[in-house]
Every structure is written in C-alpha cells, then in structure tokens.
Structure 1
Amino acid sequence: METELLQAPDGCVRLLQITDTHLFANAEAQLLGVRTADSLAAVIERIQGNDHPFDLILATGDLSQDHSAESYQRFADMLAPLGKPIYWLPGNHDDGALMTQSLYEAGISEQKWLIGKHWQIILLDTQVRGKPHGLLADHQLAALDHVLRSHPDKHTLIALHHQGIPVGCAWLDQHNLKNADDLFAVLARHPQGKTLLFGHVHQEFDELYKGVRLIASPSTCIQFKPLCDEFTLDESGPGWRYLTLHPDGRIESQVWRLPPNSFIPDPTARGY
C-alpha cells in the first residue's frame, strides 16, 4: 500500500534522517556513558534552531535499546515538536512487533511505500530477531521488485538498517546485510536510479557500488570510529542527515553534528 510523498513547490523532496537513537524507558539510562535521551534532545534542539528545510523524517532503526514500549513512546514524544510526518523501520536492537504497536498507538504511520511525482521511497525490514546481522526476507525482496517494476520512471530511495557493502570496520561489517547479493540482483533488473540509505554503522558513509549510491549517517548518540578492525568509539558529536531529492534524480546530502566533545562515550568500552 502506498502513500503520497510530500514534495516542495520546486519539485524537490526534502527529508531528515534520524537513526540509532538507542532510547531507554528510563530517560537517565546510558549507553556506554552517554545518556541517549539527552543526546537526542540536543540533536532535536539544534534541528529546531537551524533553517534547513525538510518535509518528512526517516527513522532508520535501533530507536530503542531496551525493547520497551516506553522507549518508543519517548521517541514519538521527543520528535513530535518537529511537526513532520515520521516513517520508520526496525534495526537489530528493536523489538519489531512492539515497535509497530507502540509507534502506531503514538500516531506514527506504518507506511513503507511513499510515492511522489518524481521519486518513490521504500522502507525495508532487515531485522533478524535476536541477531545483530541483517537479512531481507523473500517478501521484502518481492515488495522491492514490485515497487521498482510498477514505476520504472521514478527515482528510488531505499531505506534500510543494515549496510549492504562493507564500510571498512571489520568488527562491524561481520554484522552486515547477509543477502546483499540478492538485493543488488533485484536492483540490477530495473533501469531507474537507486540510492540506499541506512543506519547501523554509527558513522558517515557515502559510496557508489554497482551504480547504486549507498549513504549512511551518524547516530544521535555514540559514534563508531571509521576504518577500525576492532570495536572503537569515536569522539565525534552525535549527528543527523538532511537529503534533498531533486526532480532530475540528483541527491544533495549534508551531515550535521553537535559540536566536538559533545556527549563523549566511555573510552574504556570494548563493546555493547
């Protein structure tokens, strides 16, 4: 089932990506030394304070850290002041069923297919319950194939949680999308321009692979240091990403962060 994709009078679709918030039922709870509710609050305050336009929000998974209904309600309550439609997908730390119920009760849409004049966006579920890696079930691949076949004239943004190609962190890349080859096989069957937007890796990433652009964004809490074989945290500030989808298929994208030394994680942490 599809829903209308909001676009500006100039034909552009402008969106905000929020990812890996890792919220808890308890607002004081910490992830590796960072109060995730506080870091998200600081991100939202900064978003409200700048003039970068956006018309919708994509939340690309790991919204909860403790699988609680309260954490999803907290997410909904904290993003409500932004006043924009929110579309979401689960990450490996989420409870998919509880997430669906809790966000629906909070008034957040369950839609996973957004379609506009020039662009369409599809949100895919890569969660494997109880596992850190990702997998696209057959029905998810079939849904993607249907969308691409139905509108071959529309540029397509595909949102998911797990990375489809290695990002250069060996410890993290073992928890990637395990059937990425199946995903790229589906994409190769269709002519339109395609971009993958994901979370999970807690860092910036933007590369081209087999004609597909792959973009990842910082977490709103802890950051993983790029290009490290072992688990390594980064002191870069929590971040978020704006994307502008142009009618001709171009994507402008900017990562914003809180100032350096904001919400520094526990330097002794060796995993989570």
Structure 2
Amino acid sequence: MTVYVVQISDLHLFAKPHQRLLGVDTETSFLQVQKAIAALDPLPDLLLLTGDLAQDGSAAAYARLREHLQALPIDTYWLAGNHDRLHNMNSELRAERVHGEKSFSRENWSFILLNSLVPGKDSGYLTDRTLLWLRQELQRSQAAQNHVLLVLHHPPFSVGSDWLDQSALQQPERLFQVLDEFDHIRLVIFGHIHQELHCRRQGVDYLACPSTCVQFCPKSSRFSLDVIPPALRQIWLEPDGSFKTQVQRVEAALQTPNLALKGY
C-alpha cells in the first residue's frame, strides 16, 4: 500500500505565543499550516518535522507544540535543527502520537532520521557514531528488502545561496560515502533552507521543504526574505520504491516579514 507522508519544517516557535521572527508570528503561521494538514482528505499516515521546531529551544515551546500535534490524529516523528535544544525536545516531544524514535518502518519503507545538530553552530555535522548507526540501519532495511527515506535537517550540498551554504552539512562526503554503499535509498528530505528544492545525486532524489513561517529567497548571495506563503510537502511512497510529491502553499498562513532586516 502507498504510504502518505507530510513534511513540515522550520517552525521557529518561542517560549511564549505570538512572538515574532523577522516580523512574523511563527505560532499563528504554524497553526494555519496545521489547519491545512487537518483538512487533507485522506489524512496522511505520517507527519515528519525536520528541525528548527523552536527558535529559542525552550521547553515551553516544545510543550505547546506537543499539545498542538496531539490535536492531529497522525503519528508524528521529529528531529532537531540548529536552533533546537535536544534535551528539551526529548523531555517534551513524547506523547501518544508524538514519537522520538529515529528509525521505524511503514509497509515496505524504512525511515531513518539523522541528527546533524552541532550545539552552538548553525552548520550541521554527522559524527562517526551517527554514520556507523546509519550504516547499520541501512543494512537492516536492506535485509528486510525495504526502500529507504532518509531525513535530516541540514542540506548535504550547496543550494546556490552563498549565505545559506555556509551553514549546510559539513563534510557531506562522509555521508555520501555511506549512502553510495547501498542501492535501496530512494529519497532524502531536509529543511533548514526555508525554500522548495528538488535535485538528484547518484539516482537518489533530494527534497527540501519550505518553512511554516518565514521563506528565504532562492539563489540569493546575501540574506534575503521571500514574500510567499508557508507550505507543507506531501509525499506518496509507492510499494515499488517510486514516489510522488508536491508542495502545498498555505495562503492563510502568509504574513509579510520585515524585509529591512539583514539576518536573525
């Protein structure tokens, strides 16, 4: 059977509701995206949150996010981004349908979520321990004859924006060395860049998801905001390893950011 997945990313919530990032009320924006997810028919089988769930890393932000997510009858899995604090996430983001597991399966698809967070840095890195665990999980999924969807926060290559590329995954060749050992990886999804992206490497598709709040201009040499609606990404994973995907913009979530700001 088809596995229907929705990805959202870069929520940037705060300890208190209605705080703003670059002029945007991030929680109000997220709630409009959540409303759009709740209106999908059928509902997705899984919801994947690909990092920067809080801007301030506060336990209060994650606790409120957990409450919001519990309003959706959808199993949700998450990973950390560079703005997140993993200790607070592990404490607060666990509930009946909110899961902290980083490896699981649905039908004949295996999902592997990689932690690329380096505390105190915007860029990402995968430790030797993480890469060893990845290789072991890929071996298990291969033995089970499953297809693989890999999830991380940081893009593992240049996206054509000088300022964003400085905070990408560092030494991505270490990741590719592991991935190139296997032929059952179909799809890699990530966040961090607040924009839509789709490219291919060695027969594997790589997809980025827009943010639920502020969007960044593609191909920008300097920090630059885009005035387009937040979005979610829909992915339909087929039993034969193929997939379909689309980005759904949420017009009701659009707020005009402060375009005079030069960073955050």
Instruction: Choose which of 5, 12, 22 in structure 1 pairs with 2:2.
Output: 12
Structure 1, gaps ≥5 residues long: 1-10
Give distance in 2, aligned partners of 1:130 and 1:261.
30
- In structure 1, the residue matched to 2:99 is 109
- In structure 1, the residue matched to 2:250 is 258
Q: SS where residue 12 of structure 2 aligns?
A: coil
State the Cα distance separating 1:14 from its structure 2 match. 0.8
Give distance in 2, aligned partners of 1:270 and 1:49.
36
Instruction: Choose which of 160, 177, 182 in structure 2 pairs with 1:190.
Output: 182
Provide closer, same or farther for how the CA distance between residues 59 and 253 of structure 1 changes in structure 2, counting only shifts above 3 A: same
Deviations 1:54-89 (A, max 9, x none): 111111100001121110011111222221111111
State the Cα distance separating 1:194 from its structure 2 match. 2.8
Structure 2, gaps ≥5 residues long: none
- In structure 1, the residue matched to 2:16 is 26
- In structure 1, the residue matched to 2:209 is 217
State the Cα distance separating 1:165 from its structure 2 match. 1.2
- How many residue pairs are counted as aligned between the two chains? 262
Q: 2:179 touches 2:185 (CA, 8 Å); kept in 1?
A: no
State the Cα distance separating 1:137 from its structure 2 match. 1.0
Instruction: Choose which of 30, 40, 61 in structure 2 pairs with 1:50.
Output: 40
Give distance in 2, aligned partners of 1:56 and 1:173.
29
Give distance in 1, aligned partners of 2:66 and 2:88.
14
Q: SS where residue 94 of structure 2 aligns?
A: helix
Aligned-residue identity in percent: 39
**TM-score if structure 1 supplies the norm length?**
0.92
**TM-score if structure 2 supplies the norm length?**
0.95
Aligned-residue Cα RMSD (Å) equals 1.5
Q: 2:10 touches 2:52 (CA, 8 Å); kept in 1?
A: yes
Q: Which one-letter code corresponds to 1:29 in the other structure?
A: Q
Instruction: Choose which of 219, 227, 232 in structure 2 pairs with 1:240.
Output: 232
Q: SS where residue 70 of structure 1 aligns?
A: helix
Provide closer, same or farther for how the CA distance between residues 91 and 234 of structure 1 changes in structure 2, counting only shifts above 3 A: same
Alignment of 1:70-219 (within 5 A): 70-104=60-94, 108-152=98-142, 153-219=145-211
Give distance in 2, aligned partners of 1:191 and 1:107.
31
Instruction: Choose which of 220, 224, 228 in structure 2 pairs with 1:228.
Output: 220
